Amino acid sequence: MKSRDIAPLEAAIGYRFNRPELIEQALTHSSQARELESMQIADRKPVPDNEQLEFLGDAVLGFVTTQELFQRFPSFHEGELSKLRAHLVSEKHLIRVAQLLNIGHYLRLGRGEEKSGGRHKPALLVDALEAILAAVYLDGGFEAARQLVMQQIVSPELERIALNGTGLPLSDYKSALQEKLQATGRPQPTYVLVKEHGPEHSKTFTVEARLSSAENNGKPEFVSRAEGSTKKSAEQDAARQLLEYLSKLPTDTNIPPRQRVRSR
């Protein structure tokens, strides 16, 4: 088939190629490449397809996503980071990105794949998206590829999850609380597991976050309480409540009045 003008796609991804052959290869499915090879009469030469680019793009996507999550959520443990990364690089998420970019419109498919609806197949769209990431990386370097991953794949989804709430860990309240207390010269809180109940495979943990001050003779100034399916999630929610408490204090005082409040 005749190649489509890729200018609208370049505009959509925010990158213009210096070597157009890279984006053309990223959009070429193996069915089209093998078909073109079969049409050659003499001196048959391999026609590049996007399979190798897809392999490289998958690695670029994984690294950029991992690096961003590592830097953005320093207090999350490995399991939480892995869960969030798995979602961001999943076919379910990437297919939505590919559809928003209208990648199917630009695919170069063989006749058989075209007839079977290849332009709408999730696997082909995701492979092409990852191949495009690799093409940008090869054409413009790591920073260009990183910007594409962040702008189209990672940042919008993190914002969407934060607004809608899906159970995925997105707000590092413990780190924010730590920074807040350090800035005001306050001691760090203590997190205490006060209760756990439920079957072994589905426990609920109750955690208290206790905020102390030097003038309270060792007694907590404020105590928040939260429940979660893991100790870490309960601690995050308890830290969030402490942040809310601190945000309501007068800004011109470092030592707020004594108060003890339990929530939940």
Which residues are catalytically annotated?
58, 130
Closest among 178, 167, 142, 137 to 52, alpha carbons compared? 137
- What's the CA gap between 229 and 237, in Å, rounded? 11
> What's the sign of the alpha-carbon dihedral 211, 216, 217, 221?
negative
Closest among 220, 228, 232, 233 to 262, alpha carbons compared? 220
Closest among 161, 196, 135, 193 to 13, alpha carbons compared? 135
Task: Using CA atoms of 17, 19, 21, 22 in order, give the dihedral in degrees to the nearest 10.
Answer: -60
User: How do strand 204-212 and strand 220-228 relate by DSSP bridges?
Assistant: antiparallel
Tokens in use for 165? 């709430």
